[in-house]
Amino acid sequence: MPYRFFLLQRLTDWVEGLGEADQRSVRALFAETDLEAILDLKTSRRVERKNHLEVWAD
């Protein structure tokens, strides 16, 4: 599961780094496939990569 959380974290970090107009475009694209809710998912702890493994951040 940590790898899946890591990928989700990368996606949400990328979307949050976009401008407001670009965020709306991405959300519209995800909404077309009923996946917009995935952009609001967050884990309680971040996942990091160490030695080619995904581990929970301190």
Entry pTM: 0.78
Say if residues 52 and 22 touch (Cβ distance below 8 Å). no
- 9-56 pLDDT, tens per residue? 999 999 999 999 999 999 999 999 999 999 999 888 888 888 888 888
- The full 3-state SS of the chain, as one line of letters, equals CHHHHHHHHHHHHHHHCCCHHHHHHHHHHHHHCCCHHHHHCCCCCCEEEECCEEEECC
Please state, in angstroms and rounded to a whole number, the distance separating the CA atoms of residues 17 and 9.
12
